[in-house]
């Protein structure tokens, strides 16, 4: 592993150098998604060159042609964790044979359906990380802590995020 440079480690090191030498402003990364209601509860999300369907199961009024938005949030947590595991392991030269994650989240449907004054969103999220590696348990424990300190989606879930809305009706600004 030490002989040939790991391309992820190289990319991470190059990004770290870039961030260290650049003004703070350059570290601000903006991401974007465009979505549209297609038919019924079925929607389509477009992210750069990627498009996919997001829908609801029939029990919730949809046609079940894609995952639902809450499931997407859980998938975002699992994949973000794995990507940060891969990046930090590469940078620290820790061998990983596999990382698999199962994420579960619970919400109270009475919030969504306005049946009781409870929060509409996820109440708790549990994530079960399965790592396959020849590294020592103490090394993996340190890796786990590093990942959880630096995983963007985990941090996004744990903290309140400021949100700003603009609404247009038939092209006219409804916000004001």
Cα(167)–Cα(176) distance, rounded to whole angstroms? 9
* Residue 176 CB, nearest approach to its own copies (Å): 11
Site for its own copies in 11-40 (CB under 8 A): 11-12, 15-16, 19-20, 24, 27-37, 40
Which helix (H) or strand (E) segment is 129 a member of?
strand 122-132
Q: What angle do CA 130, 136, 138 make, to 5 degrees?
A: 85
Distances in whole angstroms, Cα of residue 39 to Cα of each of 46, 53, 58, 106, 170: 16, 11, 14, 27, 19
Phi, psi for 12 (deg, rounded to 5): -65, -45
Q: Both ends of the chain: CA-CA distance in Å?
A: 59
Cα(116)–Cα(2) distance, rounded to whole angstroms? 58
| Binding of its own copies by 174 (CB under 8 A) | yes
Q: How many Cα neighbours within 13 Å face the side chain of 60?
A: 16
Number of residues counted as binding its own copies (CB under 8 A)? 123
Phi, psi for 61 (deg, rounded to 5): 100, 5
* Residue 10 CB, nearest approach to its own copies (Å): 8
Using DSSP, state whether 42 is helix, strand or coil: strand
* Residue 51 CB, nearest approach to its own copies (Å): 10
Site for its own copies in 36-95 (CB under 8 A): 36-37, 40-41, 43, 45, 47-48, 50, 52, 54, 56, 58-62, 66-87
* Residue 1 CB, nearest approach to its own copies (Å): 15
* Residue 142 CB, nearest approach to its own copies (Å): 11
Provide the mask over 131-170, with x wherever binding to its own copies is found by CB under 8 A and - wherever it is not.
xxx---x--xx--x-x-xxxxxxxxxxxxxxxxxxxxxxx
């Amino acid at each position: 592993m030490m002989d040939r440079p790991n391309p992820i480690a190289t990319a991470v090191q190059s990004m770290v150098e870039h961030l260290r030498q650049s003004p703070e402003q350059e570290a601000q990364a903006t991401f974007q998604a465009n979505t549209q209601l297609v038919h019924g509860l079925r929607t389509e999300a477009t992210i750069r060159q990627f498009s996919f369907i997001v829908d609801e199961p029939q029990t919730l009024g949809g046609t079940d042609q894609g995952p639902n938005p809450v499931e997407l949030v859980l998938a975002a947590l699992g994949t973000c964790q794995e990507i940060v595991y891969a990046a930090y392991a590469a940078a620290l030269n820790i061998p990983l044979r596999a990382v698999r994650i199962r994420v579960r989240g619970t919400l109270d449907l009475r919030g969504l359906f306005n049946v009781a004054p409870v929060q509409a969103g996820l109440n708790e999220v549990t994530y079960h990380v399965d790592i396959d590696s020849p590294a020592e348990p103490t090394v993996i424990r340190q890796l786990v802590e590093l990942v959880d300190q630096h995983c963007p989606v985990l941090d996004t879930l744990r903290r309140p995020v400021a949100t700003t809305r603009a609404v247009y009706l038939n092209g006219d600004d409804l916000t004001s």
